[in-house]
Amino acid sequence: MDRVSTLDPDLLCLQGADRFDELWDLELTIRGYQHLHRHKDAGRHGCPIAWRAATWDLLNLLMDALAKLNDQNLRVNNCGDFNSQPQLPQYCVLTKRTPIPSQIEDLLDIPDKDEDVRQPK
């Protein structure tokens, strides 16, 4: 667990982890991870996958907001954007900074692609 704490990953995949319930479950939860663990056969040997819940929640929020803007049903790939400006919410997601409330509101207030957003005349 010391190595995991040092690396501080957002996504963690382990192979051949024994005694997951005894050694890993509580420690990962304390560190803010959600996780799945699948046993091989009926034994205790298996492969856990853990992810930092807060990071993936923000990423899902951003992807939902981007999908609302996508009026041509194009595939959206969210990856590092070095042209992104620090005040934009997607920059916070990509750099693991905590967005301020107004940035989260900006993501939540993006209209659906079919919604008429024109201002009244």
Mean pLDDT in order along the chain per 10 residues (121 residues)? 83 80 86 81 74 78 72 63 63 67 70 54 46
Note whether residue 36 is domain-resident.
Answer: yes
CA distance 102 to 89: 9
Question: Is 113 domain-assigned?
Answer: no
| Domains: count for the chain | 2
Residues 6 and 49 in one domain: yes
Hey, is 36 helix, strand or coil? Answer: strand
Quote the pTM value. 0.48
The whole-number pLDDT of residue 76 equals 62
| 115 within a domain of the structure (yes/no) | no
pLDDT at 121: 46
User: How is the beta sheet containing 33-39 ordered, strand by strand?
Assistant: 11-13, 46-52, 33-39
**What are 49's two structure tokens?**
């996958």
Same domain membership, residue 80 and residue 92: yes
Same domain for 27 and 47, yes or no, is: yes
- Structural domain boundaries enclosing 6: 2-53
Whether residues 43 and 61 fall in one domain:
no
Supply the pLDDT for residue 15: 81
Indicate whether 70 belongs to any domain. Answer: yes
